[in-house]
Amino acid sequence: MHFTAQGDIGVDDGATKVLDTIAGLRPQLNLALGDFTYKAGIEQRFCDMVKGKLGQEFPYQVVTGNHESDGHDGDIDNIVRCLPNKLPGIQGNYGTQWYADFPEKDPIVRFVMVSPGIDFKDGKPLDYSKDSERWRWTVDAIDGAAAAKIPWTVVGMHTPCLSMGRYQCQAGKDFTNMLMAKKVDLVLSGHEHHYQRTHQLGTGASCPDLVPQAFSASCLADTDASMVRGAGTVFATAGTGGRALRDVQAKDSEARYFAAVSGKNRNPALGTLDVMATADRLSARFVPAEGYSFTDAFTIERR
């Protein structure tokens, strides 16, 4: 199967360039990782832009970002109405917390989309704390993929934990460590307006917990671009869907976890993550939009 993923989109020229890039790649679906309109009341304009570039029936699958979760710069409910779910067999609350297997028959990937670390309309974040209802829902979705022998599990959410940008671990330390302990293959996010991709990270005897705002070499499971499934988790942020890029911080305490980085001050590029998956191999690359040249590529294989 073939999918693309990016967040932080907007409705300006950058967004249309990235949508053109996605259209040229011809994926089977796209994961939109939050922050869509950046302005209230123009959700239909955003949806029309997407449909105009990708087609009325294309599965442009959304999970909320912080700009539309609480309604102040758009409303996720309006986005869901004009860009509804197109995947069969979806479970959960589309737009906020859902999972789906693709293809429906003999699935290759389970997508688990969640919303930790951002405020909703009551001014409070959803509860993804340890052993909460949403934590258990996420664990069950991940465990269910393993029980069904689905080759790959991809988790998507707006907020990253590790970052060389302006934000700290909004997704939550415990939640992030749970994803690593479950050996989720790939975790996707937006929020930071740049691209950043970690090495494969893993917890175990030498790395009992990953600690945000610090670095531990013992948490590095694999540091080249060819990785083995089950050794750890790759975290990729693609907040490059169209909005203006931001700087990356070269001296960030977490910098040594990252294998590839692009931002306003370092190899700037709008674009999308492009992922191909078979039963035995997951291959991903960053594809820049027109006018940009930065690229990145990595693979994870089953052995």
> Which pLDDT does position 297 carry in this prediction?
98
pLDDT 10s digits, 12-56: 999 999 999 999 999 999 999 999 999 999 999 999 999 999 999
Mean pLDDT across the chain, nearest whole number? 97
Percentage of residues in the chain with pLDDT exceeding 70? 100
Q: pLDDT of 155-212, one tens digit each?
A: 999 999 999 999 999 999 999 999 999 999 999 999 999 999 999 999 999 999 999 9
In this predicted structure, what is the pLDDT of residue 78?
98
User: So what's the pLDDT on residue 122?
Assistant: 85
Whole-number pLDDT of residue 211: 96
At residue 208, the pLDDT reads: 94
pLDDT at 117 over 90: yes
Considering the chain, what percentage of its residues have pLDDT values greater than 90?
Answer: 99
Q: Give the per-residue pLDDT at 303.
A: 87
pTM over 0.85: yes
Q: Domains in the chain, ordered, with CATH?
A: 2-301 (3.60.21.10)
pLDDT band for position 83 (cuts 50, 70, 90): very high
pLDDT tens string 120-155: 988 999 999 999 999 999 999 999 999 999 999 999
Buried b (16+ CB within 10 A) or exposed e, 229-248: beebbbbbbbbbbbbebbeb
Query: What pLDDT, on a 0 to 100 scale, did the predictor assign at position 166?
Result: 95
